[in-house]
């Protein structure tokens, strides 16, 4: 590892989390295709689905109406976020029994650095096995885990044997594993970047290694440096214990498209009221540094406009709404408003919450 710290990283990812909680609480749902999301008649979107539904092609972020076309017998359940948060807290409490170095990425996944953990004789693999067994027994859901010397590889490994799987990439296996890894597995490589790489004759990370750092930077800008490192399995990012929220927002997808700017402006007061209500619990510790307006048009194109302000009001949001709508000048399916937040103001002696 060329003198770099030899970390032991575990990435834990709850399998189809929202759906798994619903199946746990209602066993009748366990063997049928289900999804958690909004209703099709209100242009709902799928948050997650179980593996039976995925066999039909149903996926997260898919419109519920399309999901039902793919899987006519799909059972769609409205989300119960408070219940999911409580289950997430149970899972995170189990993680804390093994290490304090935990970086939650969402309610259902997290990185754990167990480099210095004395549990299970210091074996990251045995720790991951024990964590998964405890979550299944104590929480009633399954977790897939990846164990590797870096966050990049641990996250890939957790997806390697889903669901309810464990995949381990040992330090001496890193080079061979990464060499044949499809470039699409590299974090940040989407369809467009993958297509550009394929045009260069690059399909696996081993192919990418034939390009110099200068060549990759020339082709991909700053991301070229990350490509150069990751195709060699180099990722020195530490597990970050605290992740500070940078913004807070609310949005609404409308059952019928809003036809013009005036109808968009009519919904602003209601959206701002919801935003203020959501911001209330952060008010004592966070300041507002800017206003954000998001508009998604009927053709699914979208735009975001923001402006720095420590006291954004309805008038400012209306100005931003006019600018955003003017970029498309067509019917709107979704509106969102948000605040950019200042730095976290921690009180003396106060301990940061994991969630």
Per-residue pLDDT reduced to its tens digit, 293-325: 999 998 888 899 999 998 899 999 999 999 999
What pLDDT was estimated at residue 314?
Answer: 92
User: Of the ranges 16-30, 32-46, 195-209, 333-347, which one carries the lowest mean pLDDT score?
Assistant: 333-347
What pLDDT was estimated at residue 351?
Answer: 44
What pLDDT was estimated at residue 284?
Answer: 82
Domain ranges of the chain: 17-81, 175-230, 247-341
* 130-149 tens-digit pLDDT: 999 999 999 999 999 999 99
Spatial distance between the Cα atoms of 25 and 140, rounded to a whole number of angstroms: 9
Catalytic residue among 22, 55, 103, 109: 109
Say whether 244 is catalytic. Answer: no
Tell me: domain 247-341, CATH 3.30.1320.10, correct? no
pLDDT at residue 58 above 80?
yes
Cα angle 13, 15, 19; round to 5: 130
Q: What is the CATH number of domain 17-81?
A: 3.40.1170.60
Query: Which parts are annotated binding residues for Mg(2+)?
Result: 13, 108
Spatial distance between the Cα atoms of 341 and 344, rounded to a whole number of angstroms: 8
pLDDT at residue 346 above 60?
no
What pLDDT was estimated at residue 113?
Answer: 96
pLDDT at residue 349 above 70?
no
Q: What is the mean pLDDT of residues 41-68?
A: 91
CB atoms within 10 A of CB 159: 14
Which of the four pLDDT bands, split at 50, 70 and 90, describes residue 353? very low
What pLDDT was estimated at residue 133?
Answer: 96
Report the candidate in 256, 212, 262, 218 with the shortest Cα–Cα distance to residue 232.
Answer: 212
What pLDDT was estimated at residue 198?
Answer: 94
* 166-221 tens-digit pLDDT: 999 999 999 999 999 999 999 889 888 999 999 999 999 999 999 999 999 999 99
Regarding beta strands 166-168 and 143-148, do their DSSP bridges make them parallel or antiparallel, or are they unpaired?
Answer: parallel
Residue 350 vs residue 220, higher pLDDT: 220
CB atoms within 10 A of CB 25: 12
What pLDDT was estimated at residue 350?
Answer: 46
pLDDT at residue 352 above 60?
no
What pLDDT was estimated at residue 280?
Answer: 87
Which of the four pLDDT bands, split at 50, 70 and 90, describes residue 355? very low
Tell me: domain 175-230, CATH 1.20.210.10, correct? no
Average pLDDT over the chain, rounded to whole? 90
What pLDDT was estimated at residue 114?
Answer: 96
> 163: cis peptide before it, omega within 30°?
yes
- In the chain, pLDDT over 90 holds for what percent of residues? 77
What pLDDT was estimated at residue 4?
Answer: 56
pLDDT at residue 86 above 60?
yes
Q: Taking the mean position of all CA atoms in its chain, how far away is CA 227?
A: 21
* 226-262 tens-digit pLDDT: 999 999 999 999 998 866 678 888 888 888 899 999 9
Residues 6+ positions from 325 with CB-CB distance below 8 Å: 261, 264, 295, 332
Q: Residues 12, 136: contact at Cβ < 8 Å? A: no
Q: Which two tokens stand for residue 45?
A: 């979107």
What pLDDT was estimated at residue 270?
Answer: 93
pLDDT at residue 153 above 90?
yes
């Amino acid at each position: 590892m060329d003198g770099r710290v030899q970390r032991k990283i575990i990435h834990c990812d709850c399998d189809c989390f929202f759906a798994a909680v619903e199946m746990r609480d209602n066993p009748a749902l366990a063997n049928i295709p289900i999804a958690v999301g909004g209703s099709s008649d209100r242009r709902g979107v799928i948050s997650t689905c179980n593996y039976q539904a995925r066999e039909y092609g149903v996926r997260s972020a898919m419109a519920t109406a399309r999901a039902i076309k793919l899987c006519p017998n799909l059972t769609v359940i409205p989300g119960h976020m408070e219940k999911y948060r409580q289950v997430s807290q149970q899972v995170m409490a189990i993680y804390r029994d093994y290490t304090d170095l935990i970086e939650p990425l969402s309610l259902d996944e997290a990185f754990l650095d167990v480099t210095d953990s004395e549990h299970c004789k210091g074996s990251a693999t045995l720790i991951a096995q024990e964590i998964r067994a405890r979550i299944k027994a104590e929480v009633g859901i399954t977790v897939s885990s990846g164990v590797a010397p870096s966050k990049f590889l641990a996250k890939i490994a957790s997806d390697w044997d889903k669901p309810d799987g464990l995949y381990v990439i040992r330090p001496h296996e890193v080079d061979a594993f990464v060499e044949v890894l499809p470039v699409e597995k590299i974090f940040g490589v989407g369809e467009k970047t993958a297509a550009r790489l394929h045009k260069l004759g690059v399909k696996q990370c081993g192919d990418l290694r034939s390009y110099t750092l200068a060549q990759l930077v020339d082709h991909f800008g700053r991301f070229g440096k990350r490509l150069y490192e990751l195709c060699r399995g180099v990722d020195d990012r530490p597990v970050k214990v605290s992740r500070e929220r940078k913004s807070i927002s609310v949005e609404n997808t409308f059952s019928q498209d809003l036809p013009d700017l005036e109808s968009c402006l009519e919904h602003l007061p209601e959206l701002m009221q919801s935003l203020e209500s959501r911001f209330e619990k952060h008010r004592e510790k966070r300041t507002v540094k800017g206003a954000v307006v998001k508009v998604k048009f009927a053709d699914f194109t979208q735009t975001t406009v923001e402006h720095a302000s420590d006291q954004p009001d309805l008038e400012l949001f209306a100005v931003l709404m006019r600018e955003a709508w003017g970029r498309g000048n067509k019917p709107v399916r979704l509106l969102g408003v948000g605040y950019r937040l200042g730095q976290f103001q921690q009180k003396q002696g106060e301990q940061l919450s994991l969630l």
